[in-house]
Amino acid sequence: ATPFAADALSGAVPYGAAIRIDELADILYSEAVRTYCKVIVAEGAMKWSDLQAVRGSFTFEPTDTLLAFAQDNDIELRGHTLAWYAALPEWAERISSAEEARTELVHHIDTVVGRYKGRIRSWDVVNEAIAEDPTPDAPYRDSVWLRHLGPDYIELALRTASEADSSAQLVLNDYEFEQPTDQARAKRKAFLDMVRGLKSRNVPLHAIGLQGHLRGESAVDSPGISSFVAELSALGLGILVTELDVIDDQLPGPIEERDKLIAARAREFLSAIGSVVRPEIVVTWGVSDQHTWVPIWFSRQDGLPNRPLPLDENYQPKELMRVI
Ligand code: XIL
C-alpha cells in the first residue's frame, strides 16, 4: 500500500474498489488494484443478468477468474448482488407468479452462495430494496420480486443466503441516505423500519452497505447520517461503505478546484460515519477515472471528463485517495 492509501480513516479501514474483470488484462489497471485494494467486488459480473442470462444455466467463469485474482493477491472478494430490481435477464423480468418467483430466487441464491461458500465471505444480499421516494404505504422499490412476493422476498433472500452459507456476512445495501433532502430522510426511516422488522423476526442480517454515490454539489447531511449509523449500530449491525464515488457533473470544470471539492465531500461523508462507528471497509465504485459508470449516467455539459474516483485516468492518486 502507498502512503495515501494508508491514510484510510486513520489507516484502520481496508480500502477496496469495484472491478471490471476484462480490464484486469491491462497491466496498469491490475497493478493499481493490487497496490491499493484489500477488498474487491465485481462491478457487473455477479449480477443476475451476467450469472444467469439463460434460465437455469449459470456463467461462473468471470467470477471464478476474479476470485482467483483476489486469492492470488491476498484480496477479499465480496459478492454483489443476489436480489435487485435491476440487471435482471429478460426471462426473470417475465416471471409471472409467486411460486415461480420464489423458486427462481431461492434457486439463484442457493446456487451462487453455495458455490462460493467459504470463499466469498460477505454478500450484498438485497440491493436497493427501498423505494426512491418511499411513503408509509409504499416503502419498497418496485421489482419483479416485490410484485410477486411482497416485501417477504427480502426475508426469503436473507434466509436462503444464510442456509447456503451459514458463516457468510449478509448485507442490505442501499443509496442516497446522505442527501440533505426530505426524500433521503424518508429513505432512512423506511430502511430503519425494514431492518427493525427483520431483526424482530430473527432474520439473519449482519451489516448494512451505504453505497455513497455522493453528489458533488450537495452537502452531506452529516447529522442525518450519523444518527442513522448510530441506530443501525445499536441494532448490532456492521457498517460498510460499498460504492463510494463523487458525482461531479454539477461541479466547476478546473481540475484542481474540482478534485478538492470531491475530496471534501467524501471527507464529510466518512467523518459523519466515522464519528459514530468505524466502517468495516470503504469500497469505491471503481478505482480510476478511466473506468467509471459516472460519465455514462452523469456526464458533464462542458464535455470535460468526470473525476469521481481516487485515481486519475493515469492511475495517479488524487486528493480523494488521501481521504479514504
Ligand atoms: C452500475 C454499474 O456501475 C454500471 O456499469 C451498470 O451499467 C449499472 O450498474 N448501484 C449499484 C451498482 O448497486 O450495482 C450500480 O452499478 C451503480 C448503482
| Residues in the chain where the model's pLDDT stays below 50 | 1-8
C-alpha cell recorded at residue 66: 476474479
ipTM of predicted complex? 0.99
Question: What is the Å distance from ligand 1's center to 86 Cα?
Answer: 9
Catalytic residues: 128, 243
pLDDT of residue 206: 98
CATH code, domain with 312: 3.20.20.80
Task: Estimate to the nearest angstrom the gap between the alpha carbon of 290 and the chain centroid.
Answer: 19
C-alpha cell recorded at residue 224: 442525518
pTM: 0.96
C-alpha cell recorded at residue 168: 457468510
**Boundaries of domain holding 136:** 3-323
First-residue to last-residue Cα distance in the chain: 13
Nearest CA to ligand 1 atom 5: 293
Please state the domain count of the chain.
Answer: 1
292 Cβ closer than 6 Å to some ligand 1 atom = no
pLDDT of residue 8: 46
Nearest CA to ligand 1 atom 7: 293
pLDDT of residue 11: 60
pLDDT of residue 9: 57
Question: What is the Å distance from ligand 1's center to 201 Cα?
Answer: 31
